[in-house]
């Protein structure tokens, strides 16, 4: 089944939301603190409202779940996952590593996903069996084949150490070629471009990981959790280049 129509619609919607986010980004943005101590801004709320409204108008049978509280039940077996601004900490500090994220789940499988980077004027997107692209350029994961040549990125050391053991993380930081940390959404796009080889995350929600699953699949990378699955609801994941999958599995003791 082709999801091209859904992907094109979601891209258009993500870019419209990105325009709203950019206006706030270029102005003065006041952040509030949510119950989990993460920040939220008026930009997050306005973007989610726009995305939810436009998705509901175009796909009225589909469910929607969003980081800022949107919850629309599904009547089609499909649901959209929304992270209106992934990387709000970067957003409020005026760092460019934030995005608008939208993904579609059909019968439990993520079949389309978008990471739109408004400040960079780039959209990284993928749909099932249709490839992964940045704007109109096809993307592919890195072709490296050994851990000592890998660039490692980690989202939040504090959280990563809760989902992966300190020994595992230390091994990776000491044995990979080098370590970088940009931010979750941006790190995933770097994996897709073949510029980064491992992304390790220890704390994320479904809307954080949903675009990464399909982007990883379609660029040739591997998305894994502790049990070797590609679940988005277990609060952790690792994405890696295909040539180092077995080394990564061994180090992180992934089944």
Q: Indicate the DSSP class of residue 38.
A: -
Measure the CA–CA gap between 34 and 71, rounded to whole angstroms.
18
CA 222 to chain centre: 14
Quick one: pLDDT at residue 204? 93
What does the mean pLDDT of the chain come to?
95
Q: What are the tokens at 33?
A: 């603190």
The helix/strand/coil state of 152 is strand
Same domain, 104 and 182: no
66 CB-near residues (< 8 Å, 6+ apart): 48, 51, 52, 81, 82, 83, 84, 207
Domain that holds residue 159: 147-252
**pTM of the predicted model as reported, rounded to 2 decimal places:** 0.95
Residues facing residue 122 across a β-bridge:
117
Average confidence (pLDDT) over 242-249: 98
Q: 226 in a domain, yes or no?
A: yes
Using DSSP bridges, classify how beta strands 71-72 and 63-66 pair: parallel, antiparallel or unpaired: antiparallel
Quick one: pLDDT at residue 181? 87
pLDDT digits 0-9 by tens, 54-64: 999 999 999 99
Same domain, 151 and 118: no
User: Domain holding 10: CATH number?
Assistant: 3.30.540.10
Percent of the chain clearing pLDDT 90 (strictly above): 86
Measure the CA–CA gap between 237 and 160, rounded to whole angstroms.
10
Q: 153 in a domain, yes or no?
A: yes
pLDDT confidence of 187, banded at 50, 70, 90? very high
Residues facing residue 116 across a β-bridge:
100, 123
Cα separations (Å) of 216 from 54, 187, 188, 195, 223?
A: 27, 12, 8, 13, 6
pLDDT digits 0-9 by tens, 138-162: 999 999 999 999 999 998 777 888 8
Which of 97, 130, 163 is where one domain is finished? 130
Measure the CA–CA gap between 81 and 211, rounded to whole angstroms.
9
Same domain, 125 and 12: yes
Q: 125 in a domain, yes or no?
A: yes
pLDDT confidence of 10, banded at 50, 70, 90? very high
Measure the CA–CA gap between 219 and 232, rounded to whole angstroms.
18
Task: Considering only residues 27 and 253, tell me which one the structure prediction assigns the higher pLDDT.
Answer: 253
Average confidence (pLDDT) over 187-205: 96
**Count of domains forming the chain:** 2
Residue 39 has pLDDT above 90, yes or no: no
Residue 29 has pLDDT above 80, yes or no: no
Quick one: pLDDT at residue 19? 97
Q: Indicate the DSSP class of residue 164.
A: S
Q: 76 in a domain, yes or no?
A: yes
Quick one: pLDDT at residue 27? 82
In the chain, alpha helices (H): 4-25, 42-58, 88-92, 157-163, 166-175, 184-193, 206-219, 245-252
Tokens 């008026």, residue? 42
Quick one: pLDDT at residue 161? 84
pLDDT digits 0-9 by tens, 81-129: 999 999 998 999 999 999 999 999 999 999 999 999 999 999 999 999 9
R_g over Cα of the chain: 17
Task: Considering only residues 227 and 39, tell me which one the structure prediction assigns the higher pLDDT.
Answer: 227
Q: 228 in a domain, yes or no?
A: yes
């Amino acid at each position: 089944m082709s999801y091209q129509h859904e992907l094109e619609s979601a891209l258009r919607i993500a870019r419209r939301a990105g325009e709203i986010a950019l206006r706030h980004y270029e102005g003065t943005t006041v952040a509030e603190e949510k119950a989990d101590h993460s920040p939220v801004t008026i930009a997050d709320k306005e973007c989610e409202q726009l995305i939810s409204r436009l998705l509901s108008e175009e796909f009225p049978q589909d469910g929607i779940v969003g980081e800022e509280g949107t919850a629309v039940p599904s009547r089609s077996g499909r649901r959209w996952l929304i992270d209106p601004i992934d990387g709000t900490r970067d957003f409020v500090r005026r760092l460019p590593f934030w995005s608008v994220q939208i993904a579609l789940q059909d019968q439990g499988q993520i079949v389309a996903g978008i990471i739109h980077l408004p400040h960079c004027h780039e959209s990284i997107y993928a749909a099932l069996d249709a490839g992964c692209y940045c704007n109109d350029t096809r993307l592919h994961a890195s072709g490296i084949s050994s851990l000592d040549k890998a660039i490692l990125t980690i989202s939040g050391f504090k959280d990563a150490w809760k989902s992966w053991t300190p020994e595992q993380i230390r091994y990776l930081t000491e044995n990979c070629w080098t370590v970088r940390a940009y931010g979750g959404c941006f790190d995933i796009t770097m994996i897709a471009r073949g510029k980064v080889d491992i992304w390790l995350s220890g704390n994320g929600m479904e809307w954080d990981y949903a675009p990464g699953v399909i982007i990883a699949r379609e660029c040739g990378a591997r998305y894994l959790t502790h049990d070797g699955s590609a679940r988005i609801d277990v609060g952790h994941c690792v994405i890696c280049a295909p040539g180092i999958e077995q080394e990564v599995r061994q180090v992180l003791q992934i089944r």
